[in-house]
Structure 1
Amino acid sequence: MRRLSPGRRRAPAVLATATAMSLALFAAAACSPAGGGSPSSGSASKLTLQFTGPPISLNPALGGNGLSTMYTALAYDPLIYLSGDGKLVPDLATEWHYVGEGNKVFELTLRQGVKFTDGSPLTADAAVASMNYFLKAGGGLVSNAGPIDSITAAAPDKVRVTYKSANPDAAMTMTQYYGIGSIIGPKGLADPQSLLTTSDGTGQYVYNGKTSVANSRYDYDKNPAYFNPSAQMFGGVSIRVIGDAQAVLSATQTGQVQFAAGSSATVDAAKQANLTVLSAPFFNWNLILADAAGTVSKPLGDVRVRQAIAYALDRKGLANALGGQYAGPSTQVLLPGLDGYVPEAGYTYDLAKAKSLMAEAGYPDGFPLTVLTESVIDRNTTYSQAIVDALGAIGIKATLHVEATGIGQFSGDALSKQYAAIIFPSAGTDLFQVHNQISAGLFNPFGHKDEQLDTTLAQAFAADGAERTRLYQQASQRYQDLAWYVPVFSTENLLYVSPKLDNVKTSELNPNPMPVAPTPELAWRNK
C-alpha cells in the first residue's frame, strides 16, 4: 500500500507564475446590501463574513464550493481538511492511503469520539451512508468526486472507496470543497429537507434557521459538542449576503464584516483603507463551445469554426482591460505551472488565420450565435460582453442570454441544451481536477466524448511522476485540437480581511480559505 502523509498532498508543485487557478467556485444569486442586522463587528466572540449571494443549498450534498463552501464548512467537518496554504490535514479522518497499485482503492481511518449534532457517534457506517447519499442527491459537485464504484465500511473505523478507474486525487476530493467528504449525520439523512433550517454535522458551529434571514443573513451558533473546543475561536459566525462591489468595500471598511470577497474595481481603495488584501490565482474563464456536434448551431459542428473562434480572441488585450495586474491571458485548459501545461502550445491571437478558417468552413461572413452567461460571478457581465464583442471581428453576430437569478438557474439553463455556447470559468490545480469539471455538467451539456482523449487520460490517472505529466500534456494538446473549450483569460481571487482578524492564509492551492480548522494553529482568530 502507498500511504499518503497528512499535511502533504499529491498535487503539482506550487506555481511559480502569477497566473494560475485553483479550486472551483459555483456562487449563488447576487444581492445588493442586505438588511436585517448582524452580530456586532466589535464583539470579539463573533465573526461576520460576506458572500456574494445566498447558498445554492445548506445541504452539503447539494451545495457549492469555492468561497460558498463557508455555508457548509461551518457546520460540517470534512474527512480531510485543506488548509489555506494548501496542505492536507487530518480532520474526521486521521490517516488515509491507497490500497494496492493503480490509484483505484482509497481507505480512510476515522477519528474516534466524534459526535454529530443529533448526538449519534461518527462511525464508518455513518460516513458511508452520508457519502452514498451525496452520490445520489443530485448535487452539482458529484462529477468532481471521481469515478466512484462503491463506498463501504472496511472496519468500524475505516471507510474504503473503490473507483471504476484511477483517481490520483482521492485525498483532495475528501476535503471541504468537494461535498462528498462533508459528513451528514443520520438524523439529517433521514430528513434531508430539515438541513435547510438546521444542520446535522460534526462541525464547530450549528446553523440557526430561526435567527437567519433568507437571502440576507445566515447565522451559526457555537457547537458545544465539537471534538476540539480549543479550535473554536468565535462564539458564533454570521454570513451576510452583499453582492455589490462598492457595498462590500463599505461593509468591510466600517467593520460590518471582517472578511469579504474583493474586486479589482475596489482593490486600490481597500488598500488605502488599511484592509489586508490577499490574492491567489483562481479562475480560468472559458468560452465553452458546448454544441460540438452542431445540433443547435450547425457551424459549431465544424472544428475549423471552433478553432477560428479560438484564434480570434486577443487574450492579452482582454486580460489587461478587464483585470489589470490581477488577470492574465490563458491559451490552454490548464494555466502555466500546472501539471500538464504545454509550453509554447495553446491558441494565440491570429485574426488572419481565424478568418481563413471561417472561409474554409463555409462561413466567411460569420453567423448568429446566442451565448449563455450569468451575472453573479461575472458581475454586470463585463467579461462576457467583451468576449462576444471580440467575435464580431470574424463576422459572428453573438448576443448574450444573461441569467441573473443565480448559478443554480444558470446551470439548469446550460443543461437544457438550448444554448450552443456558454461563458463560465473553470478551475483546478491539475488535469484530473479540470477534466472532472469540464467533462460533465454545464461544461458539457451535450455529452460529447473523444476516444483518444479518454484513453490518454485513463493512462495518465493511473500513472505517477514524469509519466503522468507526459500523458497530461498529450491530453492538453488533444483538448486544444478539439476546441470544445476556448480559454480566454485567468483572474486572481481577491479577499479583503479586517486588520483585527488574524491567521487568514491563502495560496495557489487554496484561494478560498475557510475560517474554521480542526486545530487552533490553522483557525482564524481575532487579534
Structure 2
Amino acid sequence: MSARHSPSRKLLATAIAAIAVLGGVSACSSAPSSGGGSTSGATTTGGTLTTQFAGVPISLNPALGGSGGSAIFTSLPYDSLIWQTGDGTLIPDLATDWKLSDDNKKLTLTLRKGVTFTDGATMDAAAVKASLEYFLKAGGGGTRYAGPVDTIEAPSDDTVVINYKSAYPDGPAYLTQYWSVGQIIGPEGIADPESLLTESDGTGQYAYSASDSVTGSSYTYVKNKDYFNPDAQQFDKVVVKVIGDPSAVSSAITTGQVDFAGVNPTTAATVEASGLKLVKAPFFTWGLTVADTQGTLNPALKSAEVRQAMALAIDREALASAIGADFTHANGQMGAEGTDGYVDGFGFEYDVKKAKSLLAEGGYPDGFSLDVLTENILDGQTTISQAIAGDLGKIGIKVNLVVKNSVPDFIQASLSKQYPAVIWPVVGANSAQVVSNFIQPGVTNPFGNTNEKLSALYEKAQSETSASARTSAYEDITKAANEEAWFAPVLSTDNVYAVGKNITGVTASALNPNPLPQAPDAKYAWKRTK
C-alpha cells in the first residue's frame, strides 16, 4: 500500500458519495469533513494551546496508554509511524513509505532519516523494532491492535518489516497516532519504563513537562527544539486540562479557559449559541458487553437465549431521543451505519414480550441479578448505563451498577475478571474490527473467551483480497454477532467538539473522529489566528 493511499478505495469512494455514520477510525464511508474556523487568513505561531479531555490519561507510557481521543497524552511527545489526517488519509510520519504484500501478511516500512529521540539516540530500524517489540510485551490494553505479529525484522537502517501470522490488512491504520503500537519510544525509555511516567522519550513535536503539570488536573507539553520539521510546530506549549463535568466543560470553552473541548450533546446547543464552532463526527457504538459468556460468575449468561433477551429489552429509540437525537442514533447492530458490514434493516429491536419469552427459554423466567461494571467519564453521569439497567429491570433482570470514576480504574476493574458484564463503547471501521473487541482478550473480553463461529468469520474477512468479498464477509460477522449476542448494541454516538474563536484548522470526519492538534505537515496542524 502506498503511503499516500487511504486504506480502501471502495470506501473512500462511498465517503464522497454519501453522508454516513461511523463507529471507528480507519477507512470507511463517511460524512464530509467538518472544520473549526477558516484556514484562510493570517495565522501566528507560538504561545500556548489549551485543550480539554474528560479524564486522566490511562498511562503516559505509550505502550500502556489509551487510544482514540485519549491518545493526545502520548501522541504529542511520541510520533507515530504513520499519520492519519482529518479526512482519514494516511500520510508519512516516521515512516515515509509502506507497502503491504499481496497476501496482507507482510508490511514493509521505509523510515525517515535524520530523526532523533529526546534521549539523543537516532531513530532507526533497530530502535523502531525495539519499540514495537516492547509494546508487544508490555501488556497494555491496546496490544491486540498490533495484530497477529509473528516477527519484526530490521534488514537495513531505514527498513522495518512486520510479518504477520495471518492476513492483517488493517496493519497500517493501527500504526497511526491513535493507536499506541505505532507511537515509537526511544531506547532509554524502553530500558526504564517507569521513567516514562514522569518524562517522555519520543521524537514528537513536544515533550512532557512534569514540573509544569499537576497529576490528575493538567498535563503540559513543551516544544521539542530538535523536532525534524520545525515548520510544522504551531505552538510553544500544549496544555491538556482534565475536565469531566459537562457543565464545567461548557463553561471552560465559552469563557476562553480552553481553546478546544469535547462537549456533551446536552450542552452542545448552548455552546454553539455562544458563537463557537462545533465540529462533530460519528465514533462510538455503545452497548452492554457480556464478558462472562461461559457463566463462570453468572450462570445465566452462558445461554444465548438469555443474552438475546437482554438485547431485545433495551428501548434504543427512547434513549437516543432523551440524550439528543442530533448527536445520538439508535442502533441494534454492532457496527454503525456507514461502516463496512452494516446491514440495512437488520438489528435488535425493542420487544419486551419476546425478551421475556427468550428469558424463559433460557431457563430464567423470573429473571436474575446481574452486576454490571461501568464508568461516569465517557458515559457522563452514567446516563446510558442507567437506561440499560432500567430496561433490563422490565424483564426481571435486577442490575447492580458498579461505577468507576476514571477510565483507568474501569479498565483495571474489568481486567480483574470480577464483573460478568460491562458497559463500554466500541469502535471499528468494519465489522471485523468491531468484533475483535469480543473475540480477542481485552477490556471487553477480560476472560479471554473464544467463539469458534465469530473467530472463523473474522479470519475469513481478513484473508479476502477483493473489496466485495470482504464486505460480504463483514456482513456475515454482523449477523453472527447478534446471534451470539455477546454484545447488546444500543446507540451510535457522535463526538462533538467546540473550537475557540481564535483556533483554526480543526477537522473531524467519520474517517477520523478524534482531532489532535499537531501533525508532521504544517497544513494539517491546528493554527492560531491571533
TM-score (norm 2): 0.92
Q: Do the aligned partners of residues 328 and 298 (structure 1) sit closer, same or farther apart at CA in structure 2, a change above 3 Å counting? A: same
Partner of 2:139: 138
Query: How far apart, CA to CA, are the structure 1 residues paired with 2:516 and 2:354?
Result: 46
Secondary structure (helix, strand or coil) at the match of 1:449 reads coil
One-letter identity of the residue aligned with 2:156: A
Alignment of 1:256-295 (within 5 A): 256-295=257-296
Query: How far apart, CA to CA, are the structure 2 residues paired with 1:150 and 1:318?
Result: 46
Number of aligned residues: 506
- Deviation of 1:415 after TM superposition, in Å, equals 2.1
Give ranges in structure 1 of 5+ residues lacking alignment. 25-41
Query: How far apart, CA to CA, are the structure 2 residues paired with 1:5 and 1:385?
Result: 44
- Deviation of 1:502 after TM superposition, in Å, equals 0.6
Partner of 2:349: 348
Contact 1:19–1:327, Cα closer than 8 Å, also in 2: no
- Deviation of 1:7 after TM superposition, in Å, equals 4.3
Deviations 1:141-190 (Å, cap 9, x if unpaired)? 11122111111102210110011111011110110111111111112112
Q: Do the aligned partners of residues 371 and 17 (structure 1) sit closer, same or farther apart at CA in structure 2, a change above 3 Å counting? A: farther
> Is it true that 1:469 corresponds to 2:471 in the alignment?
yes
Query: How far apart, CA to CA, are the structure 2 residues paired with 1:415 and 1:236?
Result: 35
Partner of 1:491: 493
Partner of 2:433: 433
One-letter identity of the residue aligned with 2:4: P
Contact 1:216–1:240, Cα closer than 8 Å, also in 2: yes
Secondary structure (helix, strand or coil) at the match of 1:119 reads coil
Contact 2:375–2:404, Cα closer than 8 Å, also in 1: yes
Partner of 1:228: 229
Query: How far apart, CA to CA, are the structure 1 residues paired with 2:81 and 2:155?
Result: 16
Query: How far apart, CA to CA, are the structure 2 residues paired with 1:17 and 1:486?
Result: 25
Identity %, equivalent residues: 47
Contact 1:169–1:432, Cα closer than 8 Å, also in 2: no
- Deviation of 1:448 after TM superposition, in Å, equals 2.2
Partner of 1:117: 118
Partner of 1:50: 52
Contact 2:20–2:338, Cα closer than 8 Å, also in 1: no
Query: How far apart, CA to CA, are the structure 1 residues paired with 2:446 and 2:46?
Result: 47
- Deviation of 1:381 after TM superposition, in Å, equals 0.9
Contact 1:233–1:525, Cα closer than 8 Å, also in 2: yes
- Deviation of 1:219 after TM superposition, in Å, equals 1.2
Following superposition, which runs of at least 4 residues in structure 1 exceed 6 angstroms of deviation?
A: none
Alignment of 1:13-412 (within 5 A): 13=12, 16-23=18-25, 45-99=47-101, 101-404=102-405, 406-412=406-412
- Deviation of 1:93 after TM superposition, in Å, equals 0.4
Partner of 1:417: 417
Deviations 1:287-343 (Å, cap 9, x if unpaired)? 011222222111111111111111111111111112322101111111112111122
One-letter identity of the residue aligned with 2:492: S
Query: How far apart, CA to CA, are the structure 1 residues paired with 2:349 and 2:501?
Result: 42
One-letter identity of the residue aligned with 1:218: Y
Contact 2:45–2:234, Cα closer than 8 Å, also in 1: no
One-letter identity of the residue aligned with 1:22: G
Partner of 2:514: 512
Query: How far apart, CA to CA, are the structure 2 residues paired with 1:51 and 1:361?
Result: 43
Query: How far apart, CA to CA, are the structure 2 residues paired with 1:442 and 1:117?
Result: 32
Partner of 1:31: none
One-letter identity of the residue aligned with 1:447: G
Query: How far apart, CA to CA, are the structure 1 residues paired with 2:380 and 2:404?
Result: 11
Query: How far apart, CA to CA, are the structure 1 residues paired with 2:348 and 2:155?
Result: 48
Secondary structure (helix, strand or coil) at the match of 2:278 reads strand
- Deviation of 1:224 after TM superposition, in Å, equals 0.9
Query: How far apart, CA to CA, are the structure 1 residues paired with 2:145 and 2:75?
Result: 17
- Deviation of 1:44 after TM superposition, in Å, equals 5.5
- Deviation of 1:512 after TM superposition, in Å, equals 0.5
Partner of 2:525: 523
Q: Do the aligned partners of residues 84 and 229 (structure 1) sit closer, same or farther apart at CA in structure 2, a change above 3 Å counting? A: same
Contact 2:320–2:330, Cα closer than 8 Å, also in 1: yes
